[in-house]
Structure 1
Amino acid sequence: MKTVLITGAASGLGWELSRRAHDCGYRVILTDMNGVLLKARAEQLGKVDPQRVIFRELDVTDGDAITALKLWLQEQPFALDLLINNAGITHRSLAEKTAVPVFRKVMQVDWQAPVELSIALLPLLKQSRGGIINIGSMAGWMPVLGRAGYCSAKSALGQFFEVMRGEVARYGVHILMVYPSFLDTPIETNALGHDGEPANHARSMVGRMQSPAQLAEQVFLAYSRKKKRLFPDRFTWFASVLWRLAPDLYQRLMMRKFAVELEQ
């Protein structure tokens, strides 16, 4: 039986990834900083086969907690086959109005945490010839008004793991980068505003809203096929191509669609 560890597993996409992994026969290690909800989710998932569900409360920005997690995994009788870096945070605020600590927080959760966790657990993944799945964002490929920190973090995430993929392929470790657009998940309802408090305006969006359950299914299918990158919908793929081939046109269209962000 293969084992997967998922961050941010108690809600949104993380929860759907956990359910999908369980359906695919994995032993699932759910981690999240919301201990109460995490315990409830683990009990819900483990009703049929509790031996295949484990949960550990984890703040992904806590280096000591990551070290403790690694040591705990090394003591287990099973191997770690897959790490899914799903935990994330975003903001909705103009760059000039955003407090620097907000940028630091977003970068810490969306880039530093998955990097630290992946490096820490890489020796285990090399032993199992396993893999890493990173939940990136279309915002990592192209600019989006009001998301300067988020775009920066997701862009850095993609670049880091594109390099890492080439470095660890010789060990049989596979890396999948996922680039969704707009998902119906708590990451947007919990978005930070310019001052670090919850954002007080609704998000702007283009294209259609995708369900996390649908994306979770696509993610595991792509990983089983050893894909390196997943653009879950045509809009995301088209927008990424447009940004590279005609960046000025993309910028004009984006500013028109997200004009409300300039009023915040």
Structure 2
Amino acid sequence: MAVKAFHNKVVVITGGCAGIGRALALRFAQGGARIAILDVQDEALVAFKQQLADKLNAEALAIHCDVADDQQCEQAICQVEEQFGGIDILINNAGITHRSAFATTEMAVFKRIMDVNYYGALHCTRYALSSLIKRKGQVIVLSSLSGFAPLLNRSAYNASKHALHGLFDTLRMEVREQGVNVMLVSPGFTATDMRRNALVGDGSVSQQFIGAPFKVASPTDVADDIYLGALKRKRLLVLSNVDWRARLLARLFPRLFERWMVPRLSGIKMVR
């Protein structure tokens, strides 16, 4: 594999200051890309941009952008195009989650989850698409384990991830002949702050940390796999660290899977 496989390619990463987004920015910068980081953490944006320049000699652009805001997304994408001349890869990584039962989750929480996870990806992709078509680029979308296994007390989160699959599976077919690749990525449990900062039913942020029931992947390992997937222009990348037997159980015996495995995946102790 060439060390600078993405030399001078422009890579836009939403939610790029922490977790998988941060690891992706570092990995693509190592591959020679010019990086545009979109995030809402202003201090982190400035510091990370400087780190990319100092440690990797990477050309980087840091833009404050709440992806739930359509106008901010339009302005951010226009700024990237003005600065770098176009976009080769858009990585829709920004996302939030919650831990609350459907019955106790306020409508504002459902709306906020969809605004960030679904509409955030929709907004950025709409504004970047013409540039991606011109450059025969790629859209990479971070989905989730919940794409094939529902997680209890995550109804809004699960719904947002299923919506992403519906949108981007369709988009892939529409832009394939124009040279644009769309890759959906479904990581498993990953060591990020998203679960630590989950919303609860009233919309407040829970600082309670719930450990994962399976081995947890590092953001660096996930970013490496996504980088390789982008090189191969894959359409689907499943990185789940859930045991293969559990996935087979979900496919062949869904009721048994829902009874015994879903609570465990959701971090809920089963009552015997």
Is the structural similarity TM-score above 0.5? yes
Quickly say closer, same or farther: Cα 1:167–1:181, change in 2 above 3 A: same
Q: Which moved more, 1:8-17 or 1:69-78?
A: 69-78
Alignment of 1:46-65 (within 5 A): 46-48=53-55, 52-65=59-72
Identity score, percent: 31
Amino acid at match of 1:162: D
Residues paired across the two proteins, number: 263
Query: 1:190: which partner in 2?
Result: 197
CA 1:259–1:228: 2 relative to 1, 3 Å: closer
| Equivalent residues of 1:140, 1:156 under 8 A apart | no
Of stretches 229-238 and 248-257 in structure 1, the one that deviates more from structure 2 is 229-238
CA contact (8 A) 1:83 1:133 kept: yes
Tell me, which stretches of 5 or more residues in structure 1 are unaligned?
A: none
TM-score (norm 2): 0.90
CA distance 1:220–1:49, change in 2 (3 Å): closer
Aligned residues of 1:222 and 1:230 also touching (Cα < 8 A): yes
Residue 151 of structure 1 corresponds to 158
After superposition, residues 26-175 of structure 1 pair within 5 angstroms as 26-48=33-55, 52-175=59-182
**Contact 2:151–2:263 (CA<8 Å) still a contact in 1?**
no
2:225 paired with 1:248: no
Confirm whether residue 260 of structure 1 aligns to residue 268 of structure 2. yes
Which of 214, 219, 228 aligns to 1:221? It is: 228
- How far residue 37 of structure 1 moved from its aligned partner, in angstroms, is 0.7
Q: Secondary structure of 1:88's partner?
A: coil
Q: Specify which of 6, 12, 18 is matched with residue 5 of structure 1.
A: 12
State the AA in 1 paired with 2:109: V
Unmatched runs of 5 consecutive residues or more in structure 2: 1-7
So what's the TM-score if we normalise by structure 1? 0.93
Question: What is the SS of the residue equivalent to 2:188?
Answer: coil
| Mapped partners of 2:122, 2:243: distance in 1 | 24
Cα deviation, 1:58-96, whole Å, max 9, x if unaligned, reads 111111111212332343353210000001000011111
**Which deviations, in whole Å up to 9, do the C-alpha atoms of 1:218-259 show, x marking residues without a partner?**
000011112111111452765454333321111012344247
Q: Secondary structure at the match of 2:109?
A: helix
Match of 1:19 in 2: 26
Calculate the aligned-residue CA RMSD, in Å: 2.0
**Does structure 2 retain, via aligned residues, the 8 Å contact 1:14–1:86?**
yes
- 2:215 is the counterpart of 1:211: no
**Secondary structure, aligned partner of 1:222:** helix
Question: Which structure carries more relative contact order (alpha carbon 8 Å, separation 6+)?
Answer: 1
CA apart distance, 1:146: 1.0
